Chain A
Amino acid sequence: MKFLRDFLDKQKPHFSKGGRFEKLHSTFDAFETFLFVPNKVTVSGAHIRDAIDMKRTMIVVVLAMVPALLFGIWNVGYQHFLSHGINAGFWEIVGFGLLKVLPVIVVSYVTGLAIEFAFAQVRHHEVNEGFLVSGLLIPLVMPPDVPLWMVAVATAFAVVIGKEVFGGTGMNILNPALTARAFLFFAHPAEMSGDKVWIAEKADAYSGATALGHLLVGEADKIPSFSDMFLGFIPGSIGETSTLAILIGAVILVAAGVGSLRIMLSVVAGGLVMGGIFNLIGANAYMQLPAYYHLVMGGFAFGTVFMATDPVSAAQTGVGKIWYGFFIGAIAVLIRVFNPAYPEGMMLAILLMNVFAPLIDHYVIQSNIKKRLKRAKAAVAA
């Protein structure tokens, strides 16, 4: 490691003020802080800093996504060969999956990071690492058959309109990865929904509908078994199918203190309560679906663990997080049942609550202030 440090120290003057590559300062800074914890000290305000800075927080999230990613790669291959009725070996399946998934990841990272670096140069701020996570989240919420240029356009849209216009990482109102998905969902519905896109290069005669797709056309008997959906042997977006793999990610996030368990639990509670209410009404096949089925169908689990807990766009206050999560779960199920034309209610629910998160926080803080004022007044009176 020492030689790396020496090398960086030698190069540093070129990128500092007055150096040859002064303009590329933020690019250099990005790589330096990526490799080593920066040695900058605070100049004012609170002087205590956690050793875990943003780059190292983000890497935990990336690690947490790895199980879902690996399973996704396998499942993309598995679904492909299943649709063709071919009995393929493990490595064949993984090989096909890699061939499909890797290009999406590469396109997402290259486009997003190129824009991030460009903005950092122009605006003279450091390159933020938020995109390390978004860049992997975007491929995981894409259908395996998505055209690569669409991934590039959506990523560019998400980074520029979803993030940079608000001032970059940490300032965004909406979750960038979901912004990318929502953009594609409205821009290219044919490539983002229906029963054609969830299995890569599927055989024509094979039904590629997701569980939500079956429910849309009223084929409740065709949805896969609960255990299949929990384990993830179903068609769907690359990373969303296996609730089990996502749960492993959730454990990593919660254990590392990065993801909020409070949000995850309240999203699940919201979904269960709303699903339970519909069970009681039971007017159609969709409403009769057991509430816990919603948790393993579509992007519910993935959204709960990786999207709703995004620390930037979620509610910040403790009580606020409960309300925020509960409404995400409830609205997601509500949209699924009442407006099946938008099968992925989870995406829309999270984006909607992202917008409401600051409002929720505001009222939580105000009520807290009121409560304390009352207590103070009571103390004075007594």
Chain B
Amino acid sequence: MSAATKEKEPLFSAKNRKLLTNPINLNNPITVQVLGICSALAVTAKLKPAFVMAVSVIVVTAFANLIISLLRNGIPPRIRIIVQLVVIASLVILVDQLLKAFVYDVSRQLSVFVGLIITNCIVMGRLEAFAMGNKPWPSLLDGIGNGLGYSLILIMVGFVRELFGSGTIWGYHVIPQSFYDLGYRNNGFMILPPMALIIVGIIIWIQRSRNPELVEEK
């Protein structure tokens, strides 16, 4: 009886929706788990590469989670890391080739960081923590959710850094020339990676003051 009701669980039940939304806010991989920081600092000087990177990570986390979840009962525990890495690496190579084929200039800007998705802690973390013990559908949702959480932060940081660092959004000038004539200058510090760290810090600060349950007890 209970098995029958379980099978009929709707695709987007409350539990499944949570898998998707939780990593976007309360369990965000960057601001709460503090994973995947290095790529978040490296690719966010402009919005466009940040966006492409975000999409790539969503694709990799989603499919890696799905594939590992499908294979989970067949993977010998002792070599599971190797199997996971093979899956991730194949997906990353696919993504890399696609980027090179269709958005070559962005792929050049992202350079080594697409390849480094293989070592991105978020991907491995979700495989170990979730996909190895859950069914394919929730795993896929969890992968997409974590990818989205990562993307959200990347795009926020990329937006702020490009706006103040270069005066552009997505490569288009948004700060009018009259501002520059009045003496406004682009902030060169925004282009440098330390500022990305500070912006991520500010996002964490805002998030924590809005959600006091995230603050550790002293």
Contacts and interface: CB of A to CB of B under 8 A. Distances in A.
A190 B185 contact: yes
B192 interface: yes
Contacts of B192: 186
A41 B185 CA distance: 50
Contacts of B198: 161
Given A165-B201, A165-B205, A191 B189 contact: no
Nearest to B165: A187
How many chain B residues sit at the interface, stated as a range, is 10 to 19
Interface centre among B184, B187, B205 (most CB of A within 10 A): B187
A149 interface: yes
A183 interface: yes
A8 to B, nearest CB: 33
Interface string B179-209: 0000111011110100000100110010000
Contacts of B189: 183, 186-187
Contacts of A183: 189
A188 interface: yes
A188 B201 contact: no
Q: Is the interface of A mostly helix, strand, loop or mixed?
A: helix
Given A186-B188, A186-B189, A188-B188, A147 B183 contact: yes
A161 B185 CA distance: 21
A188 B180 CA distance: 13
Nearest to A183: B189
A181 to B, nearest CB: 12
A187 B190 contact: yes
Interface in A152-169: 153, 161, 165
Nearest to A153: B187
A161 B202 CA distance: 9
Interface residues of A, number: 13
Interface string A182-224: 0100111111000000000000000000000000000000000
A189 B183 contact: no
Contact of B185 (A165, A186, A191): A191
Contacts of A161: 198, 202
Contacts of B202: 161
A264 to B, nearest CB: 30
A187 B188 contact: yes
A188 B187 contact: yes
B24 to A, nearest CB: 24
Given A161-B198, A165-B201, A187 B183 contact: no
Contacts of A187: 187-190
Contacts of B205: 165
Contacts of A153: 187
A186 B99 CA distance: 33
Contacts of A186: 188-189, 192
A160 B188 CA distance: 19
A189 B185 CA distance: 10
Contacts of B190: 187
Interface string B90-122: 000000000000000000000000000000000
A147 B184 CA distance: 9
A145 to B, nearest CB: 11
Interface string A25-37: 0000000000000
A344 to B, nearest CB: 16
A150 B190 CA distance: 14
B37 to A, nearest CB: 17
B172 to A, nearest CB: 22
Given A187-B189, A191-B185, 7 more contacts: A149-B184, A161-B202, A165-B201, A165-B205, A186-B188, A186-B189, A187-B188
15 contacts: A149-B183, A149-B184, A153-B187, A161-B198, A165-B205, A183-B189, A186-B188, A186-B189, A187-B188, A187-B189, A187-B190, A188-B185, A188-B187, A188-B188, A190-B185
8 A-B pairs with the lowest CB-CB distances in the bound complex, closest first: A187-B189, A186-B189, A187-B187, A187-B188, A147-B183, A188-B185, A189-B188, A161-B198
